[in-house]
Amino acid sequence: MLFLDHIWIIPLLPAFGGAGMLFFGRKLQKATVNVVCVGMVGLAFIMACGSVLQYTAWAETHSHQPYQTILYTWLGGDTGHLIYPTHDGAQAPFQADAGLLLDPLSSIWLLFVTGVGMLIHIYSIGYMAHEGGYYRFFGYLNLFMFSMLTLILANNYVLLFVGWEGVGLCSYLLIGFYFHRKSASDAANKAFIVNRIGDSGFILGMFFIAWLCGSLRFVDVNAFAHLGTHSPETLKYITAATLLLFVGACGKSAQLPLYVWLPDAMEGPTPVSALIHAATMVTAGVYMVARSNALFVLAPTSMKTVAIVGALTAIFAASIGLVQNDIKRVLAYSTVSQLGYMFLALGVGAFAAGVFHVFTHAFFKALLFLGAGSVIHAMSGEQDMRNMGALEKRIPVTYWTMLIATLAISGIPPFAGFFSKDEILWQTWTSEGDAYRILWVIGYVTALMTAFYMFRLVYLTFYSKPRMSREVEHHIHESPKSMIVPLVILAVMSLFAGFLGWPRSLGGSDHFARFLDPVFARGEARTLIEEGKAGQLVAAEKEEEHTSPTEYLLMVLSVAAAGVGWYMAKRSYAHAHTGYSEPIKAASPATYKILLNKYYVDEGYDYLFTGRRKIDGVRLGAMGLGEASSWFDANVVDGAVNGAGWITRTTARLSSWWDKWIIDGIGVNGPAILARMLSYPARLFELGLVQWYALVMTVGLVGFVFYYVYH
């Protein structure tokens, strides 16, 4: 059990790499940096494979228990004396271990994170070759790997949260990698803060769990969830907990309404977008929800919420993706949309399907981004598809790999995407209740859109007429080996990864789902109960239903959708020359405008929350207060800054005004001033005239006398 016993080394490897880079990196040669960083991740990958293999062996003999190893107690005194009361009045010790847990779920993430991670590291060698801050970049990347691996391998929520925040930090650092660009650092801040909003939900959710279960270890939580029946009140709290967790997921996995940071995150270098904002980090939310499946299935409300949010996000983002011109933004929105798919899957209880989609998506989306990167590389930095075209022959490898990825994402069999996406749609359909049919429709339409915008991307980039300027065209060249190799590998994966989940209905044996059964089986069974499908408790029965004609029908339909999307894209863009016309624009300019402007969500946020935009001269939201207060500041509080930013900043200005003038003014300086004012009369009393003094004395005396004689 060499690997499994030393599984804790896996996250530490990149941690060392990252730390080394950040502390000593500046002095190192690029070669050394490559060896260290890429080497670390490579080792991690090897160890990961080893551990997973050993685990599968181990699990056979251990009734598919998760493998858990605890290094030391991280939070808490480990004496059991630092206790807190749980919801049922019992006493639970405050504790969170630095402990790792390996089970099918984490194994999958472990594999593709290290794997894709390694590829992207290799890719970066070429991509970043000419960038400054080389060591910094790789340091951050390694740090990210460390956080991500912690997140995956954590055996309790707190440690998961460590990775959770860690990846957030690394994405912040990497988005802001070109920190001299204001847009970059803005995007970085936006990402971190929006994530923090989600995280705060996550923290509270964690506390609810701790309060309910008296522990934050996944095994304990699952045990708690699985034990018999729960009182309605408990279920209420579980719902609260799961919803709060989902808030966290929304932040991290860019779901409505917190998705806004992801598109901006494209400010980062392309490999970062590929690794963090496509393949790995953004799927953390999915992982966390899947990890908590036992709890989620106890809270139908939460499940429905997840499903609906997921579906809406999916179609919402996809529709935006239809018209974007920046190649990376198209991919960004497609990522959001695919994440929506995953949540839809989780929401309908098809955890395995969701995870499967994460798995496949990791490959083809990473591939797409890297391909896009390669394209941009070739186009010497150009990202606008309107200025591309006809690159098919010029950069053939990129072209072929990207084409494969596109086929995969559009769900054309037998490419990976087909299997996962089809599974999700199918599961949605089979869920009882009309609501789910609506969700299915949404998903279906999304699939169509996906196919459309992806092929639009392909056609505008590789076919159609060249629309780039002369000298750009002159420089076009295929990317170096270090970039090509990963593309090819990923392409292969996107081609074959789907076979792992080859559905039974097509004569396969759904290895993937079977592999995950120990994690999800009871969960899915539970959903079925919730959905009143008492008849289908057992997986076996599911299989029969699985092979129903409906499924084939749906399968055909979804492929058809992909085909339709492809065809439409071909028709409108195959021969696009400079100044080509967007079909949607032709159909309805209004819609096009709305889509192009992303439904004006950012603007809306600016109107409502930040108030950075006016409605015919009238400012709503924070800035409304802001202007009022800044007027006030200008006229009352001298030298106060005018203008306002976020709602908090405005409130802050108000409160600081309050601070300076009310609390400090009346509360503190007030008495002082008053005293000084009183001091002068008190002194004036001292006229300096003897007789006045004598008079005062006498009056004092007489006063006392009168008081006593006549009272």
Partner 1 sequence: MEAMLHITTLHYLVLGAALFLLGVIGVLTRRNVVIVLMSIELILNAVNLNLVAFSRYWQGIHGSTALHGQVFAIFIITDAAAEAAVGLGILIAFFRNKETVNVDEVNLLKW
Partner 2 sequence: MYSHILSIVLFTPLAGAILLLFVPKENKDAIRWIANIFAFGGFLISLPLVPWFWNLRFEPGFKFVEGSANNWIPSIGAGYVLGIDGISFLLIMLTTLLGWISILSSWTAIENRVKEYYVWFLVLQTGMLGVFMALDFFLFFVFWEAMLVPMYLLIGIWGGPRKLYAAIKFFLYTLAGSVLMLLGILFLYFHHHGATGVYTFSIPELYKTAPQIYYDYGASAATLLFLSFFFAFAIKVPMFPFHTWLPDAHVEAPTAGSVILAGVLLKMGTYGFIRFSLPFFPDVLMHTRVRFWVMALSVIAILYGALVSLMQKDMKKLVAYSSVSHLGFCTLGIFALSPLGLSGSVLQQINHGVSTGALFLIVGILYERRHTREIAEYGGISSVMPVYATITMIMFLSSMGLPLLNGFVGEFSILQGTFMEKEIAGHPGWFWAAWAVPGVILAAAYLLWLYQRVFFGTVTNPKNEKLHDLTPREIATFAPLLIMAFWIGLYPKPFFQILEQPVNQLVQNIRPDYGKPAGTMNASVQPRTAAPARQDLAKTGGIPSLLRGKN
Partner 3 sequence: MGVGMQFTSTDYLLVLPMTLLTLFAIGILLIDLMLEQEQKWANAVTAFIGLLFSAKAVYNIQQWLGSRPASYGLMQTVLVDHVTLYFFYLFLAATAITILMSVRYLEIEHESHGEYYALLLLSVVGMMCMAAGADVVLIFIGLELMAISTYVLVGFLRRDRRSNEAALKYFLLGAFSSGIFAYGLSLFYGLTGSTNLATIHTALRQVLGGPYEPIAVIALLTTVTGLLFKIAAVPFHQWAPDAYEGAPTSITGFMSVAVKAAGWAMLLRVLILSPFRLGGLVAMRSIWLPVLIVVAISTMTGANLAALTQTNTKRLLAYSSIAHVGYILLGLVAGSATELNADGIKGILIYLLVYTFMNLGAFGVITSLRHRNVIGDELDDLNGLYSRAPVEAVLMLVFVLSLAGIPPLAGFYGKYFIFLGLVETHYYRLAAIAVLYSVFGLYYYLKIANAMFMRQPERGEERLPVSYAMRAALGVTAFATLFIGIMPNRFIEAANWALGIANNPNTAKLIR
Residues in touch with partner 2 (CB under 8 A):
22, 26, 72-87, 91, 94, 158, 161-162, 165-166, 169, 172, 176, 179-180, 182, 185-186, 188-189, 192-193, 196-197, 199-200, 203-204, 207-208, 210-211, 641, 646, 648-649, 651-653, 655-656, 659, 663-664, 667-668
Q: Pick the stretch among 10-18, 168-176, 438-446, 679-687 that binds partner 3 (CB under 8 A).
A: 679-687
Q: How far is the CB of 108 from partner 2 (least distance, A)?
A: 24
Q: Pick the stretch among 192-200, 242-250, 295-303, 684-692 that binds partner 1 (CB under 8 A).
A: 684-692
Query: Phi and psi of 326, rounded to 5°?
Result: -75, 120
Q: Contacts with partner 3: how many residues (CB under 8 A)? A: 24
Interface with partner 1 includes 691 (CB under 8 A)? yes
Interface with partner 3 includes 683 (CB under 8 A)? yes
CB atoms within 10 A of CB 648: 13
Interface with partner 1 includes 683 (CB under 8 A)? yes
Of partner 1, partner 2, partner 3, none, which one sits near residue 641, judging by CB under 5 to 8 A according to partner kind?
A: partner 2
Give the angle subtended at the CA of 92 by the CAs of 88 and 95, to the nearest 5°: 145
Q: Tell me whether residue 129 or residue 678 sits nearer to partner 1 (CB atom).
A: 678
Interface with partner 3 includes 697 (CB under 8 A)? yes
Give the angle subtended at the CA of 654 by the CAs of 649 and 659, to the nearest 5°: 115
C-beta separation of 208 from 159 below 8 A: no
Q: How far is CA 435 from CA 42, 258, 307, 315, in A?
A: 46, 24, 10, 16
C-alpha span between 401 and 406 (Å, rounded): 9
Q: How far is the CB of 630 from partner 1 (least distance, A)?
A: 45
H helices present in 646-689, as ranges? 647-657, 670-684
C-alpha span between 401 and 379 (Å, rounded): 17
Nearest to 291 by CA among 469, 163, 467, 431: 163
C-alpha span between 471 and 71 (Å, rounded): 58
Of partner 2, partner 1, partner 3, none, which one sits near residue 218, judging by CB under 5 to 8 A according to partner kind?
A: none
Our measurement of the distance from residue 197's CA atom to the centroid of its chain's CA atoms, rounded to an integer in Å, reads 12
Q: Tell me whether residue 257 or residue 703 sits nearer to partner 3 (CB atom).
A: 703
As beta bridge partners, residue 217 has: 156
Of partner 3, partner 1, partner 2, none, which one sits near residue 704, judging by CB under 5 to 8 A according to partner kind?
A: partner 3
Interface with partner 3 includes 679 (CB under 8 A)? yes
Interface with partner 3 includes 668 (CB under 8 A)? no
As beta bridge partners, residue 102 has: 67
Of partner 2, partner 3, partner 1, none, which one sits near residue 56, judging by CB under 5 to 8 A according to partner kind?
A: none
DSSP string, 511-553: HHHHHHHHHHHHHHHHHHHHTT-GGG-SHHHHHHHHTSHHHHH
Of partner 3, partner 1, partner 2, none, which one sits near residue 696, judging by CB under 5 to 8 A according to partner kind?
A: partner 3
Q: Tell me whether residue 631 or residue 693 sits nearer to partner 3 (CB atom).
A: 693
- Using the rule CB under 8 A, which residue among 471, 690, 709, 710 binds partner 1? 690
Which residues, numbered 183-212, are part of the site for partner 1 (CB under 8 A)?
A: none
CB atoms within 10 A of CB 42: 17
Interface with partner 1 includes 688 (CB under 8 A)? yes
x/- site string to partner 3, residues 205 to 234, per CB under 8 A? ------------------------------
Residue 617's contacts (CB-CB under 8 Å, 6 or more residues apart) are: none
- Using the rule CB under 8 A, which residue among 23, 84, 599, 704 binds partner 3? 704
Interface with partner 1 includes 678 (CB under 8 A)? no
Q: How far is the CB of 685 from partner 3 (least distance, A)?
A: 7
Interface with partner 3 includes 700 (CB under 8 A)? yes
C-alpha span between 366 and 479 (Å, rounded): 16
Nearest to 324 by CA among 262, 402, 385: 385
C-beta separation of 383 from 328 below 8 A: yes
Q: Pick the stretch among 244-252, 474-482, 525-533, 685-693 that binds partner 1 (CB under 8 A).
A: 685-693
Burial of residue 91, with CB atoms counted within 10 A of its CB: 0-12 exposed, 13-18 middle, 19 or more buried? exposed
Which residues, numbered 514-553, are part of the site for partner 1 (CB under 8 A)?
A: none
**Residue numbers at the binding site for partner 1 (CB under 8 A):** 683-684, 686-691, 694-695, 698
**Residue numbers at the binding site for partner 3 (CB under 8 A):** 672, 675-676, 678-680, 682-683, 685-686, 688, 690, 692-694, 696-697, 699-701, 704-705, 708-709
